[in-house]
Amino acid sequence: MTQNGSSGTQRTSGVPAVDISTPDALAERRGADVLLEVLDSEGVEYVFGNPGTTELPLMDALLSKPQIQYIWGLQEASVVAMADGYAQAARRPGFVNLHTAGGLGHALGCIINAGVANTPLVITAGQQDSRHTVTDPLLFGDLVAIARPNVKWAQEVASAAQIPVLVRRAFHDCNAAPAGGVFLSLPMDVMEEKTTVSTLRQSRIDRRAVAGSLEELADILAAVPVGRLVMIAGDEIDTSDAAAEAVEIAEILGVPVYGSSWPARIPFPTSHPLWAGNMPTKATDINKRLSDYDCVFALGGKSLITILYTEGPAVPETCEVLQLSSDVRDLGRTYETRLSVWGDIKASLQVLNPLLRRKVAPTAAERRKRLDAAREDREGRRRGIEAQARSEMDAPVTTPLVAAHEVVRAIGSRVAIVDEAVATSSHVRSLLHSDSARQYSFLRGGVLGWGMPASVGFSLGYGRAPVVCLVGDGAALYSPQALWTAAHEKLPVTFVVMNNREYNVLKNFQRGQSHYNSTRSNRFIAMDIVDPPVDYMALAHAFGLPARRAERVSDIAALVEAGIASELPNVIEIPISAEVYVR
C-alpha cells in the first residue's frame, strides 16, 4: 500500500508494493517525467506508440525530452511490430506505449510474434485513472490479466515512486535469456502524480555465461565420423552476435550448416560454401534430411519448428542431438539429447572452438576436403536454381521463383530484407548470396501483419538505412498503416507486394491432403481476393507513397533498384501466379 500524491488517498495493488525513497533533495516531477528520465538513461531512442486519452501525460512530458523520438503508428499491432523490428536490428530492447484494454487487445497478435521470436520489448499501456475504476469507466480493463499469458511478467505501477525500480526491472528482465516482452500498466493518476523519487543509476549486467561441459562436448563432436555430423544455425547466433564464431566452428568441423525450419533470421553467411539452406517445415521432410547423419549439433533453440502434423518425429532415432543454447527452457525439451549445454552462444564458442580445433587436428585435412566439396555442391545448387528461373522467364505469368529471382538480383547482397511473403520466401532464401549474416529477417511468430511495420523498425534500428520489405498481398492488408509511418518518417523502405490475389499457402496445404473436398473440386472458400481485387497502387497513394506495378518480368529488377535508389518509402506491386509454367 502506498501514498498517492495526486489524490491524497491510499491505493492498493495486487502485487507487493515497491516504494522507493531517496535522501537526495530532488525537485518534484510528474510520474511521466520520471519515466522519461529512466528511458533516457537506458539509451532509449524511440517510443513506439499510438496515443489515446490515457497517454496524454506521457505525450505532454515528451515535449521536454526531444532526444527521445515518438514513432507514431496508426494501429497498435503495427506499433508492436515496429518496436519488434527495431529491437532485432539494434540488438537492444524496444519500448512500446499502447492505449488501454482495446489497444492492448489490438496488439496481442504482434506481442505473440515478438514472444516467439524472443524479441526484448518493454510494453506499456495507459490505464484509466485508478480513482474511478470502481465506476467501470470507458476503456477500462484488467490490463495485467490481458497481457500476462503473452509476456514474461506483467504488473501495474501503483505509484510514481515505483516507476524507477519497475521500469529498470522491465529492461533487465526483457533482455535476460530467453528474451521476450515485459508489460507495465501505467494509470493516468500515477503518471500525473508528483514525486521526488530518485531515478537510480543504470545497472551494468553481464549475462555472457560460458556453458559447462564444453570439453565433453568437444570430445563428442570430434568423435563423430567425418561427413556424419550436421549443424543447425539458430536465431540465437544473431542475438548473441556470434556469426563469426559459428562460421569458425563449421569450418573446423567441415560440416554442412542448415538454418532453422521457420527462422527469424539467417544468422550464417548465405554465400559460405557450407551453407546448405533452411530446414523444411514438415517433420517427415526434416527426418529425411537428417537421416544422412549420425549427429546433429543445434546452435540455439527452437530450430525445428513444424507447421502441419505429419506422422513420426523430425529427428531420426539413429541421429543423436547435441545442443548449445542460452534458452534453458529449450534444452532437451522435444528431442532426447546426448548432451545439452546452457550458455551464451558467442562466449561459449570462443571457449569451445580452440578446444575443438586441437581435438580434430588428426582429421583436419579430410575436413578441409569436405569444405572444398561443399563449395562445389553449393555452386551446383545455385546453377540449378538459376537454370530453373531462366526456364520460367518466358512464362505467360510471373511465377514465384521468377519474382523472387528478379527481386533478389535487384536487392543485391547489402540491403536488408524483411520477408513476410510466404508464397516466395523459400525461393528468396535459396537465392540469397551474401557475406553478411544479418541481411535477411522473417516472420518468426507466424501471426500475419508483422512485415510492413517491422520494416519500419528495422530501418530505424539500422540507423534509417534502406530496407526492402517483401510482403504477400494478404499479409499487406493486416497492417497497411505502416505505410503512413514510413512516409511520415521519410524512411528508405521499399515495400514489394507479391500479389497472387489468393491465400495460396492455404490452398497448397489443402491440396496436400487428398481427403479434402476442396482438393477434389479445386474450389476453395474465402481464399481468393478477387471480388473485388485490392488496388495496391491506390492504397499506397492513400498513405502518401509513390507506387508502381511490374507489368512484365523485365520490369521487376529495374523497379526495385529504382525504389532503393530513391532513398524514400515506396511501393512496388508484382502480380504473380502460383501456376507452374511447363514448356
Per residue in 340-365, pLDDT (tens digit) is 999 999 999 999 999 999 999 999 99
The segment(s) of the chain belonging to CATH 3.40.50.1220 are 214-375
pLDDT band at 134 (very low <50, low <70, confident <90, very high): confident
131-152 average pLDDT score? 94
The percent of residues in the chain predicted with pLDDT above 90, rounded, is 84
19 pLDDT more than 50: no
- 446 contact partners, CB below 8 Å, separation of at least 6: 113, 116, 262
Task: Please check the confidence at residue 13 and state whether its pLDDT lies above 80.
Answer: no
* 427's grid cell: 525461393
Task: Report the chain's mean pLDDT, rounded to a whole number.
Answer: 92
Per DSSP, the residues of 230-292 read EEEE-THHHHTT-HHHHHHHHHHHT--EEEPSS-SB--S-TTSTTEEEEPPSSHHHHHHHHTT
Instruction: Provide the grid cell at 376.
Output: 562445389
Measure the CA angle with vertex 422, ends 420 and 426; round to 5°. Answer: 110
Q: How confident is the model at residue 579 (pLDDT cuts 50, 70, 90)?
A: low
Tens of pLDDT, residue by residue over 532-576, are 999 999 999 999 999 999 999 999 999 999 999 999 999 999 999
Q: Which residue has the higher pLDDT, 523 or 458?
A: 458
Q: Is the pTM of this model over 0.85?
A: yes
Query: DSSP letters of 105-125?
Result: HHHHHHHHHHHHTT--EEEEE
Q: For 289-335, how does the pLDDT look when each residue is reduced to its tens digit (9 = 90+)?
A: 999 999 999 999 889 999 888 999 999 999 999 999 999 998 999 89
pLDDT at 18 over 70: no
Q: What is the pLDDT of residues 455-502, one digit of tens each?
A: 999 999 999 999 999 999 999 999 999 999 999 999 999 999 999 999
Mean pLDDT to the nearest integer, 378-401: 92
Residue 265 pLDDT > 50, yes or no?
yes
Q: Which of 222, 115, 133, 140 is nearest to 446 (CA)?
A: 115
pLDDT band of 577, cuts 50, 70, 90: confident
Beta-strand relationship, 194-195 and 29-30: antiparallel
Q: Residue 45, Cβ neighbours under 10 Å: how many? A: 17
Sequence-ordered list of residues with C-beta below 8 angstroms from that of 425, at least 6 positions apart, any chain: 419, 442, 470
DSSP-based three-state secondary structure for 335: coil
**pLDDT above 60 for 158:** yes
CATH class of 214-375: alpha beta
The answer to whether 114 and 80 have CB atoms below 8 angstroms apart is yes
Which amino acid is residue 27, in one-letter code? A
| CATH hierarchy code of domain 2-195 | 3.40.50.970
Predicted confidence at residue 583, as pLDDT, reads: 29
Burial per residue of 157-190, b for 16 or more beta-carbon CB atoms within 10 angstroms, e otherwise: bbbbbbbbbbbbbbbbbbbebbbbbbbbbbbbbb
C-alpha cell at 315: 529427428
Closest CA to 268 of 254, 293, 248: 248
Q: Is the model's pLDDT at 12 over the cut of 70?
A: no
Contact partners, residue 560, CB within 8 Å, separation at least 6: 406, 407, 410, 411, 468, 494, 496, 572
Q: How confident is the model over 80-108, as pLDDT tens digits?
A: 999 999 999 999 999 999 999 999 999 99
Which fold does the domain 393-575 belong to in CATH? Rossmann fold (3.40.50)
The amino acid sitting at 541 is H
Tell me the per-residue pLDDT of 173-215, one tens digit each, with 9 for 90 and over. Answer: 999 999 999 999 999 999 999 999 998 788 888 989 999 999 9
* DSSP secondary structure code for residue 497 in this structure: E
Is 14 a residue whose pLDDT tops 80? Answer: no
Indicate the length of the chain as a whole number: 583
pLDDT band at 8 (very low <50, low <70, confident <90, very high): very low
State the pLDDT at residue 515.
86
Instruction: Look at residue 5 and tell me whether its pLDDT is greater than 70.
Output: no
Task: Please write the tens of the pLDDT for every residue from 21-51.
Answer: 443 448 999 999 999 999 999 999 999 999 9
3-state class of 46 per DSSP? strand
Q: What is d(CA 391, CA 405) in angstroms, rounded to the nearest whole number? A: 12
Amino acid at 570: N
Predicted local distance difference test score (pLDDT) of residue 286 = 97
- What is residue 578's predicted lDDT score, i.e. its pLDDT? 60
Q: Cell numbers of 415, please?
A: 540491403
Residue range(s) in the chain whose domain bears CATH number 3.40.50.970: 2-195, 393-575
Check pLDDT > 80 for residue 20: no
CA distance readout (Å), 239 to 42, 62, 66, 376: 19, 30, 29, 31
Question: Following CA atoms 175, 178, 183, 184 in sequence, which dihedral angle do they give, to the nearest 10 degrees?
Answer: -50
